[in-house]
Structure 1
Amino acid sequence: MKQEDTIDFHIKRTWQSIAKMYNEEASKYDATMATGYVLLNIDKEEGTPSTSLGPKMGMEATSLSRILKNMEERGLIERRKNPIDGRSVLVHLTDLGLEKRADAKQAVVRFNEAIFSAVPEQKLEIFFEVISKVNELITNRKIYLKEV
C-alpha cells in the first residue's frame, strides 16, 4: 500500500496544512495556533479549571502548562482560586485575552466559511460521518484489538 493510499496520511497532511495556515495567521497577532486554541477553550464569563483544559483540548499537561505560563506572562490570562473549591485554580481571560480570543474566533470562522462555501453540504455531511467514525474506532480502541 502506498502512503498516499492510507487514511492517516491524508488526515496528517491536512492537519499539518491547517496548523501551518493558523500559525501563519496567528503570527500576525504575535500569537500561535496553540495560544488561540487555549483562548477559545476558556469560558469567557466563568473561567475554566486549569485541570480540565488539557483533556478538553487533547493536550499534554506539560505542554499546556508551558503555554499557560507564557499566556500569563503576556497578560492574556490570569489564574484565580476557584471560589467554590479553593484547592483548584480557574483560568480567566484578561481584557487583552478577550481581544485575542475574538481574533482567534474570527480566524476559525473565516476558515470554516471558506470550506463550507467550497464543499457541497452533502459531501461535508459524509466527511463528518467518516471522521466521527474514525475517531470513534480510535477512542473505543477498536483498531488494534488482541484476540484472546
Structure 2
Amino acid sequence: MHDSGFLIKLVDEAIERQVNNALRQRNLTLVQVWVLRSLNRKEDKTCSFKELEKILNVAQSTCAGIINRLAEKKFVECFTNPHDKRVKLARLTSTGENYVQDVEQEIIDFNDRLYAGISDEELKIFFSVLKKMYENME
C-alpha cells in the first residue's frame, strides 16, 4: 500500500514553497492570491467573508486576517452589506484586479510545469480521485 497522505503532503508543501517564493517579491502569499482570484471570478468582484471562509476552508478569524492584510495593500476594500449590517463584504479594487490579470499567465506557466508529462486524461482521473479522497475525509 502506498502512503498517499505523505506523498500528497510533500507535493502540497513543494507547490506552496515554490509559489510563495515567487510571490514574496510582490509581498503576497498563495492564500492571498486565492482570495484575489476568487473575488475576480465574481460578477461584481464582491464576496462575503463567510463565503470566502468556505472557499478557503479556514476559520473566521483566519479569513478576516487574510482579507484585512489585502485591504492594507489596497487589493480589496471591506464594507458591510447595506441591507444587513451583520454581513461583511470584500470587493476587489482596481489594483487587485490589475494584479490578478498580471499573475494569471504566471499561474498558467506554473501549472504547465507542474503537469508536464501528464496527459489530459490522466489529469482528469487525478482530479476525480483527489475529489473522492477529499469527500471520503469529510
- Name the one with the larger strand percent: 2
CA distance in 2, matches of 1:96, 1:46: 12
Query: Which residues of structure 1 form unaligned runs of 5+?
Result: 140-148
8 Å contact from structure 1 (residues 25, 107) kept in 2? no
8 Å contact from structure 2 (residues 45, 92) kept in 1? no
Aligned pairs for 1:1-148 (under 5 A) are: 5-42=2-39, 43=42, 45-139=44-138
Query: Which residues of structure 2 form unaligned runs of 5+?
Result: none
TM-score, with structure 1 as normaliser = 0.80
Q: 1:16 to 1:9 in 2, by over 3 A?
A: same
8 Å contact from structure 1 (residues 44, 93) kept in 2? no
CA distance in 1, matches of 2:118, 2:45: 36
Which contiguous aligned blocks of 4+ residues in structure 1 show a shift greater than 4 angstroms?
A: none
Query: Percent identity of the aligned residues?
Result: 24
CA distance in 2, matches of 1:101, 1:46: 12
Q: 1:46 to 1:120 in 2, by over 3 A?
A: closer
Q: State the Cα RMSD in Å.
A: 2.0
Question: Could you say which structure has the larger radius of gyration?
Answer: 1
TM-score, with structure 2 as normaliser = 0.85
Q: What is the one-letter code of the residue matched to 2:90?
A: V
